A and B are shown apart, each in its own frame.
Chain A
């Protein structure tokens, strides 16, 4: 059925005379000329506007800040990859954090715990977007997709050096097409929310209710 359908649809689409309305050059790149400070300012402003927490830190202080955030939120545990550069640093000082959990088995073997027993997850990011206040997250074997989705709190580290002005600029500068797309790539701009009830914003619908960004 599907093959006949395919052939029929494509044949119908080939039939009409099609107008040439393509364009040869695409020029979508940012017209913004923001320096680092301005990018950080805009990113923070946008993130805070959608109720995310943003902490400005340095390579020396970020671990302290993460630890303070965990304490302030009274987290019982924190899901952290033991393999990533950042994750290793947390694991190395495990005593300063809530119980550190690792996502080292396929979801099927510990779904129950992930869905109902994990308070928060810590991940790195692939970059950020200043214009919209956005984290670029590319889940991997070390930091699987559900880490940034299922636990009620998501703590993410963003290196200021990877903060681009716009989405278009990030795609180009990071060479997304050349590198090939990962199975899943995400833009995350704040905690999960909905306005489906009377246009009133409510947070934490299906994803994290809280998003904490650690800018380094």
Chain B
């Protein structure tokens, strides 16, 4: 895995066009977010409040899920539970089979990406068509999303124009964004018209009222959840909040952090299927609640903070690593800082643990996170879990699996030296004295940098001269 990550990173760093696409997009997103929070103190207050809302929900998670289920059921929404993505896929499949559906139309859903739903259904001959414009574009090109909010961010207009021309040769070539969008609208409108089943994600679930909330700009989420006669929502168990009054502050900080919008075009609150007398809306609404490792994350009081995430993507937009390597380098569903803490915990440190390594811990992510997830601390903790020996004391999957004998020995030697000052200082003095003999090729460091120069004499020696080394 690790070499695969390194290879992808290397390949992607070498694509100037892709890097430019990311740079342009992230710069715009950062500026727009900043414009939404002119008052720094107010922003910090809102972040604390949003953190409290999510922390409160998590502290009552099993109870809230039961309340949610009871209220959804009372409202006529059918609730299904899945421990694994396999189970979740099977649940979706059985609903499709019940309705004899050969296709579904999808609104944007990262959890369905997590489930690998499209591949699963396609292998069974069921078409799963993405209707979010960005998702539609990358599906045409058989790609995965490179960003959780803007899945096609790695492509520019020209690349998309060429892709449309290749896939829809009957439609005249255009690089005009409006025309490209109208092409997608026409194609997808026919699909919405015909689709028997729609599938969507969920942004928040309200326990108090039994309501599923979706945030979007395009209307694909509304279409997928309204036009077909069956609506299936898939989401993670952590997305629940306690009361309806928790929603406005979260919605506000979500859209402002994500895309720098005061609000999105649509905020869609679904509390039931079509009632007798109503003339549209799905006859059936299903909710699939997916665990897939979340309950394990939940078991750790420190790592639990991971589950506060509201998937705004701000950490991604501000990450100096992400902007350079791009979303596909991560090789995971969720990229960037949130991916680097979430994916190793879900898949195991042996599988994606290297992502926790791929950070300078600069903290740009946690500085903007609307729910104050201490991402650098969690990365640090995952690095620890990766190499620790007392693996019985942590529930993190794959803990201890990244420990290598040679690395452990290096740190042991270092610790021994640094706890024996006399020897340590003899060593450093010696090093400065014979610095001419030190290698100038330090491997990775010196590919783009000169070797660091040792001083003529150490600070310890000079402190002696200053007379400050004794009281």
In the complex, A touching B (Cβ < 8 A):
yes
Q: Which residues of A contact B (CB under 8 A)?
A: 1-3, 5-6, 8-10, 12-23, 26, 28, 46, 50, 103-108, 111-112, 115, 131-134, 139-141, 144-146, 149-150, 166-168, 171-172, 176-177, 180-200, 202-208
Check if B299 sits within 8 Å of A106, measured CB to CB: no
Interface string of B200-228 (1 = CB under 8 A from A): 00000000111100000111101100110
Cross-chain contact of A28 among B49, B263, B296 (Cβ < 8 A) = B49
15 residue pairs of the A-B complex, CB under 8 angstroms, read: A12-B296, A20-B59, A22-B59, A107-B227, A132-B263, A171-B245, A171-B247, A181-B269, A183-B272, A186-B268, A197-B181, A202-B181, A203-B178, A205-B219, A206-B219
- When distances are taken between beta carbons in the complex, the residues of chain A under 8 Å from B281 are 139, 144-145, 183-184
- When distances are taken between beta carbons in the complex, the residues of chain B under 8 Å from A144 are 278-281
Known contacts A23-B52, A132-B262, A166-B248; A149/B219 CB under 8 A: yes
Check if B298 sits within 8 Å of A207, measured CB to CB: no
Check if B279 sits within 8 Å of A107, measured CB to CB: yes
- When distances are taken between beta carbons in the complex, the residues of chain A under 8 Å from B271 are 181-185
Output the least CB separation between B306 and chain A (Å). Answer: 14
Check if B295 sits within 8 Å of A12, measured CB to CB: yes
Stretch at the interface among B132-140, B340-348, B360-368, B402-410: B132-140
Stretch at the interface among B186-194, B325-333, B380-388, B418-426: B186-194
Check if A106 sits within 8 Å of B279, measured CB to CB: yes
- When distances are taken between beta carbons in the complex, the residues of chain B under 8 Å from A141 are 277-279
Interface string of B44-78 (1 = CB under 8 A from A): 00000100100110111110011000000001000
With A and B bound together, what is the CA distance between A172 and B288 in angstroms?
A: 30
Check if B265 sits within 8 Å of A5, measured CB to CB: no
Check if B227 sits within 8 Å of A146, measured CB to CB: yes
Output the least CB separation between B13 and chain A (Å). Answer: 22
- When distances are taken between beta carbons in the complex, the residues of chain B under 8 Å from A190 are 265
Check if B152 sits within 8 Å of A183, measured CB to CB: no
- When distances are taken between beta carbons in the complex, the residues of chain A under 8 Å from B152 are 196-197
Which residue of chain B is the closest to A15 with respect to CB atoms? Answer: B299
Is the C-beta of B87 less than 8 angstroms from some C-beta in chain A? yes
- When distances are taken between beta carbons in the complex, the residues of chain B under 8 Å from A9 are 65, 81, 83, 237, 289, 291, 295
Known contacts A115-B189, A145-B226, A205-B181; A196/B132 CB under 8 A: yes
Check if A189 sits within 8 Å of B264, measured CB to CB: yes
With A and B bound together, what is the CA distance between A192 and B271 in angstroms?
A: 22
Within 8 A of A (CB), among B237-280: 237, 243-249, 251-252, 259, 262-275, 277-280
Check if A196 sits within 8 Å of B265, measured CB to CB: no
Output the least CB separation between A79 and chain B (Å). Answer: 12
Which residue of chain A is the closest to B161 with respect to CB atoms? Answer: A197
- When distances are taken between beta carbons in the complex, the residues of chain B under 8 Å from A13 are 61-62, 65, 237, 295, 298
Output the least CB separation between A153 and chain B (Å). Answer: 14
- When distances are taken between beta carbons in the complex, the residues of chain A under 8 Å from B209 are 176-177, 180-181
Cross-chain contact of A181 among B59, B60, B155, B211 (Cβ < 8 A) = B211
Give the 5 A-B CB pairs with smallest separation, nearest first. A207-B219, A206-B219, A196-B134, A187-B267, A202-B181
- When distances are taken between beta carbons in the complex, the residues of chain B under 8 Å from A193 are 217-218, 265
Is the C-beta of B301 less than 8 angstroms from some C-beta in chain A? yes
Is the C-beta of B182 less than 8 angstroms from some C-beta in chain A? yes
With A and B bound together, what is the CA distance between A134 and B24 in angstroms?
A: 30
Known contacts A8-B83, A186-B267, A202-B181; A46/B301 CB under 8 A: no
Check if B244 sits within 8 Å of A176, measured CB to CB: yes
Known contacts A106-B280, A144-B280, A206-B220; A18/B59 CB under 8 A: yes
Is the C-beta of B85 less than 8 angstroms from some C-beta in chain A? no
With A and B bound together, what is the CA distance between A10 and B223 in angstroms?
A: 33
With A and B bound together, what is the CA distance between A168 and B61 in angstroms?
A: 23
Check if A105 sits within 8 Å of B279, measured CB to CB: yes
With A and B bound together, what is the CA distance between A176 and B157 in angstroms?
A: 43
Output the least CB separation between B50 and chain A (Å). Answer: 10
Check if B193 sits within 8 Å of A115, measured CB to CB: yes
Within 8 A of A (CB), among B140-180: 150-153, 155-157, 160, 177-178, 180
With A and B bound together, what is the CA distance between A179 and B185 in angstroms?
A: 37
Known: A5-B81, A184-B268. 9 other contacts (CB 8 A): A1-B87, A5-B83, A9-B81, A16-B299, A26-B246, A104-B279, A202-B178, A205-B217, A206-B222
Interface centre among B157, B178, B289 (most CB of A within 10 A): B178
With A and B bound together, what is the CA distance between A13 and B134 in angstroms?
A: 35
- When distances are taken between beta carbons in the complex, the residues of chain B under 8 Å from A199 are 24-25, 28-29, 150, 153
Cross-chain contact of B193 among A2, A111, A133, A203 (Cβ < 8 A) = A111
Check if A21 sits within 8 Å of B55, measured CB to CB: yes
Check if A172 sits within 8 Å of B269, measured CB to CB: no
- When distances are taken between beta carbons in the complex, the residues of chain B under 8 Å from A189 are 262-267
Check if A188 sits within 8 Å of B298, measured CB to CB: no
Interface centre among A1, A193, A205 (most CB of B within 10 A): A205
Check if B90 sits within 8 Å of A184, measured CB to CB: no
Which residue of chain B is the closest to A3 with respect to CB atoms? Answer: B81
Which residue of chain A is the closest to B134 with respect to CB atoms? Answer: A196
With A and B bound together, what is the CA distance between A199 and B301 in angstroms?
A: 39
Output the least CB separation between A2 and chain B (Å). Answer: 5
Check if B90 sits within 8 Å of A1, measured CB to CB: yes
Output the least CB separation between B130 and chain A (Å). Answer: 11
Cross-chain contact of B280 among A145, A167, A208 (Cβ < 8 A) = A145
- When distances are taken between beta carbons in the complex, the residues of chain A under 8 Å from B101 are none
Is the C-beta of B351 less than 8 angstroms from some C-beta in chain A? no
- When distances are taken between beta carbons in the complex, the residues of chain B under 8 Å from A6 are 81
Output the least CB separation between B52 and chain A (Å). Answer: 6
Check if A10 sits within 8 Å of B65, measured CB to CB: yes
- When distances are taken between beta carbons in the complex, the residues of chain A under 8 Å from B184 are 205
Check if A19 sits within 8 Å of B262, measured CB to CB: no
Is the C-beta of B82 less than 8 angstroms from some C-beta in chain A? yes
